[in-house]
Amino acid sequence: MENFEELFNESVKDLKVGDKVVGTVVSFLDDKTAAISIPGAFTEGIIHLDHYALNTDGKKFSDILKVGDEVEATVAKLSQDEHNYILLSRLDDAKKAAASEFAKDNEGKPFTVKVTGKVNKGYLAQAKGVKFFIPERDAETELKKGDTVKVILVKFDEERGSGLVSIKAVARAEEAKAKAEELSKINVGDTIEGTISRIEPYGVFVEFGSLRGLVRLKELSHVYIENPTSKYNVGDKASAKVISLENGKIDLSFKALTKSPIEAYADAHKVSDKVVGKVAQKLPFGAVLELAENVTGLLHKSEFSWNPNDNLLASLKIGDELEAAIIAIDVEKNKISLSKKVLIDNPWARVKAQRGDLIDAKVTEVTPKGLKIEALGVDGFISSRDINLDNNSNKLSDYYNEGDMVKAIITKVDPKAWVLNASIKLFQDEEARQEFEKYQDAEAEKDTPVTIGDILKSKESK
């Protein structure tokens, strides 16, 4: 016996209560007890079913383990009496595992705990054998032993198998759930009715139901509002359109429910309408006219006049009123295009003449460089180089007066550039040529030579 005890003591000298060991099931001593072979130990370890697992009522060890299974357990007792055995237990691990499983199953969900006592700065409670701590500041009223309260797990300690819970978190979770349910019923494009709850430099908050959305500065109005407090007050009723639902944030818009200034203007006006606007801005390519409050239109310089030489822009002043016609409205691009020339007759549209045609022209002005004329309903010019003068004078005013009618041949016509140039000289030369041909034909019958000088002398005598 003495040798057996020595062998036992020698085999367990490196073991102490609390040590973790890993052994193998070698047999079942009865339905509630298993023998575990421990490497290096002279004797086997013994573990009872109620120290192996929780809630084992009505169960046998053979329902849970079989011979050969590996078991990790803690040394609970080293017996050195006449039995010399090692008592094992995994009850603490089982409790921690059960507590951890309970924590995972109830993570983020309210569950009920029972208060077991009061400690410094809080209360102890338990549920399903798991211990919890409730901070005193978290309880709205003093709790008593035996009270049951709903809590939510805030933090769980795997090593200790216990956790920190909160009563107030239940209300927050229920509020969040209600908000989530209400949020799920809202879609982008919906119109909500609410109350302005807060005003910040960057926008206005609107509460509706249990939800709250933000109307940013750019969504307040079609016209920029620098300071929201200048137009809105906390407590005002408000209608808004949902324009975004990203990451649980609700973006709203006031302006989406109202017509923009250009939309309202487009409802009241159409293309071809005559309108009057004030010159608000002069640009290199045209003038911006203010047509109504926050509504402008562009009168491009190409739409000033049919006359490409017209320099209307130079004569315009800020504030001048101009009549124009709408030629295009683009609400999406916030653009209105205007034209002044469509309200003016374009005489050149009726000019069908071409170079070489004979025209009757009225002299409208005599200048040193030539004659300004009116022909075919448009203005033109006859250069002094295209006029025959005798040797007595080289001044056009000695030969022509305003109102004279002259015949000339077109030398250049360009309706797009509004250019009509003509030549009296070409007409006179052509007339002389024709007269010469007539005389030449007549004298040919007489067989008498005829010169151009004879013809001109004959015309002058007439």
Q: For position 8, what pLDDT does the model report?
A: 46
194-217: per-residue pLDDT in tens?
999 999 999 999 999 888 999 999
Give yes or no for residue 137 having a pLDDT over 80. yes
Judged against a pLDDT cut of 90, whether residue 339 lies above it is answered with yes
CB 115 within 8 A of CB 149: yes
Point out which residues pair with 149 in neighbouring strands.
113
- Read off the pLDDT of each residue in 126-150 and give the average, rounded to a whole number: 88
Please give the structure tokens belonging to residue 220. Answer: 């307040």
Tell whether the model's pLDDT for residue 1 goes beyond 90.
no
Q: Average pLDDT in the 301-316 region?
A: 87
pLDDT at 307: 85
Check residue 326 and give its pLDDT. 95
Q: 94 near 53, Cβ under 8 Å?
A: yes
- At residue 87, the pLDDT reads 86
| pLDDT value of residue 139 | 85
pTM of the model: 0.50
pLDDT at 176: 81
Q: What is the predicted pLDDT for the residue at 98?
A: 76
Residue 40: its pLDDT value, please? 72
Provide the pLDDT for residue 458: 53
pLDDT at 11: 46
The crossing angle, in degrees rounded to 10, of helices 424-446 and 452-461 is: 100
Supply the pLDDT for residue 7. Answer: 46
Asked whether residue 22 carries a pLDDT value surpassing 60, the answer given is yes
151, 103 contact by CB (below 8 A)? no
In the numeric block, which tokens belong to residue 77?
Answer: 């007792």
User: What CATH number has the domain spanning 109-173?
Assistant: 2.40.50.140
Who wins on pLDDT, 257 or 446? 257
Query: Is residue 446's pLDDT more than 80?
Result: no
CATH for 261-343 is 2.40.50.140
pLDDT band for position 374 (cuts 50, 70, 90): very high
Q: Where exactly does CATH 2.40.50.140 map onto the chain?
A: 2-89, 109-173, 189-257, 261-343, 347-428
Quick check: 298 pLDDT over 70? yes
Average pLDDT of the residues in 248-255: 92
Average pLDDT score over the chain: 86
Indicate if the pLDDT at residue 158 is higher than 60: yes
- Retrieve residue 456's tokens: 């001109």
> Superfamily assignment of 347-428 in CATH?
Nucleic acid-binding proteins (2.40.50.140)
Bridge partners (DSSP) of residue 367 are: 370
Report the distance separating Cα 341 and Cα 77, nearest Å: 111
Q: What is the distance between the terminal CA atoms of the chain, rounded to a whole angstrom? A: 175
What tokens were used for 20? 């973790």
Per-residue confidence (pLDDT) for residue 198, from 0 to 100: 94
| Residue 217 vs residues 55, 96, 202, 294, 431: alpha-carbon distances, Å | 63, 54, 6, 18, 80
Average pLDDT over residues 273-288: 94
Superfamily classification of domain 189-257: Nucleic acid-binding proteins (2.40.50.140)
338 vs 416 pLDDT, higher one: 338
Specify the higher pLDDT residue, 54 or 259. 259
Strand partners, 251: 214, 244
Mean pLDDT confidence for 245-274: 91
Which residue type sits at 142?
A: E
- From 169-178, 192-201, 377-386, 400-409, the region with the lowest mean pLDDT: 169-178
Q: Average pLDDT of 165-178?
A: 85
Residue 180 — pLDDT band, cuts 50, 70, 90?
Answer: confident
Higher confidence at residue 442 or residue 170? 170
Provide the CATH number for the domain formed by 2-89 in this structure. 2.40.50.140
Band of residue 451 on the pLDDT scale cut at 50, 70, 90: low
Q: Rounded to 5 degrees, what are φ and ψ at 262?
A: -75, -30
> 392: which residues sit within 8 A by CB, 6+ positions away?
398
The mean pLDDT of 264-286, rounded to a whole number, is 93
pLDDT digits (tens, 9 = 90+) for 41-80: 767 888 888 888 777 777 888 888 899 888 888 888 887 5
For residue 348, is pLDDT > 60? yes
What is the reported pLDDT for 220? 93
β-strand 86-89 against 45-48: which pairing, if any? parallel
**Whether the predicted pLDDT of 82 surpasses 70:** no
